[in-house]
Amino acid sequence: MTGRIEDISVARTKDDRTRLPGFEDAVVGPTGRAKQDFAEPAKLKSHGPARIISLCNQKGGVGKTTTTINLGAALAGYGRRVLAVDFDPQGALSAGLGVPTHDVTTIYDLLLSRSKDPLEAIQHTGVEGLDVIPANIDLSAAEVHLVNEVAREQILAGVLRKVSSEYDVILIDCQPSLGILTVNALTASHGVLIPLECEFFALRGVALLIETIEKVKDRLNPAIELDGILATMYDSRTLHSREVLERVVDAFDERVLETVITRTVKFPDASVAGVPITEFAPEHQAAKAYKALARELIVRGAVA
């Protein structure tokens, strides 16, 4: 994996980035690199098995849930079969996709009982091709219950293995902590996507997160990759936002995705409506940004 902290020093300077050979006159995007248009993805001829991606950052309010919902909807729009897994007891993903979380089978039930069929927990959303396994506050008890389990870090992996053939991509919306649930998510995943808010303290904590990913890679899941760092809540009008993004790119270089998510009130509005922004306001630049993110991840090979 390329996410090691030691690699940070090799990041190129901004001057190098804006003068990439052949791109001298190109329009420069917010990351300081030449702006790219990611090609429309080809239709898939067959589906599955899924590549599993965790959306992970132990800081709350950075856009994990918003990204899971809207990236999921955008990928479904490109014909990918997507399963979103709510792995946060707050249940914000389930609410944001408008599915019930009570008197239904949740991810908690699947973690606790091996005999439960995960297909029973899957709910369709209003978006064709986007399904969800919901969560509710019960999940907060999982940490305690799992402590004495055999191979407690691998339980989610076992659950998702049973449904993987039905999907092209599974997105896990992690809770804001680095506890046993998040370790389960990382152990089950092929890749990690780190949403990072363009705020002054954003970089604090990322070292710890990458250290956790490294530990999971060493001990539990040697194949895990850092699929990218996604800058969120970006406001191009403020020098502050631009400076933070510049620092993030200096630190993580090409691991920072080209697509940047701008701060806009459309997101809270769409959450209240219980639909992805790609449905709520399809022509809004925020919807277009998530479609661009979907195309970028397909071009990068993180999604089929």
What is the contact surface with Mg ion in residues (CB under 5 A)? 64-65, 92
Interface pattern 173-192 for ligand ADP (x via CB under 6 A): ---x----------------
What is the nearest approach in angstroms of ligand ADP to the Cβ of residue 21? 33
CB-CB contact of 226 with 216 (8 Å) = no
182 or 241: CB nearest Mg ion: 182
> Hey, how many other C-beta atoms are within 10 angstroms of the C-beta on 163?
22
| Residue 280 binding ligand ADP, by CB under 6 A | no
The two tokens of residue 212 are: 């956790």
Q: CB under 5 to 8 A by kind: which of Mg ion, ligand ADP, none does 32 bind?
A: none
CB-CB contact of 154 with 111 (8 Å) = no
| Residue 285 binding ligand ADP, by CB under 6 A | no
What is the nearest approach in angstroms of Mg ion to the Cβ of residue 94? 11
| Residue 125 binding ligand ADP, by CB under 6 A | no
Q: CB under 5 to 8 A by kind: which of ligand ADP, Mg ion, none does 63 bind?
A: ligand ADP
Q: Check whether the bond before 134 is cis (ω within 30° of 0).
A: no
Q: Render 191-231 in DSSP notation, one character per residue.
A: EEEEEEESSTTTTTTHHHHHHHHHHHHHHT-TT-EEEEEEE
92 or 202: CB nearest Mg ion: 92
Interface pattern 217-246 for ligand ADP (x via CB under 6 A): ---------------xx-------------
Q: CB under 5 to 8 A by kind: which of Mg ion, ligand ADP, none does 126 bind?
A: none
Question: What's the CA gap between 192 and 126, in Å, rounded?
Answer: 26
Size of the site for ligand ADP (CB under 6 A): 17
244 or 261: CB nearest ligand ADP: 261
What is the nearest approach in angstroms of ligand ADP to the Cβ of residue 149? 26
For 223, how many CA atoms within 13 A lie in the half-sphere containing its CB? 7
Question: What's the CA gap between 22 and 192, in Å, rounded?
Answer: 31
What is the nearest approach in angstroms of ligand ADP to the Cβ of residue 163? 23
3-state secondary structure of 247: helix
Among 52, 76, 92, 169, binds ligand ADP (CB under 6 A): 92
Among 31, 54, 65, 106, binds ligand ADP (CB under 6 A): 65
Among 50, 52, 53, 62, binds ligand ADP (CB under 6 A): 62
The two tokens of residue 15 are: 């001057």
* Helix 180-188 × helix 206-219 angle, to 10°: 60
Reported as type and span, the H/E element at residue 54 is strand 51-55
231 or 298: CB nearest Mg ion: 231
Interface pattern 246-265 for ligand ADP (x via CB under 6 A): ---------------x-xx-
| Residue 89 binding ligand ADP, by CB under 6 A | no
Pick from 153, 196, 197, 193: nearest CA to 172: 193
34 CB-near residues (< 8 Å, 6+ apart): 20, 23, 26, 27, 28
What is the 8-class DSSP label of residue 86? E
What is the nearest approach in angstroms of ligand ADP to the Cβ of residue 266? 8
| Residues found near ligand ADP in the complex (CB under 6 A) | 60-66, 92, 176, 232-233, 261, 263-264, 267-268, 271
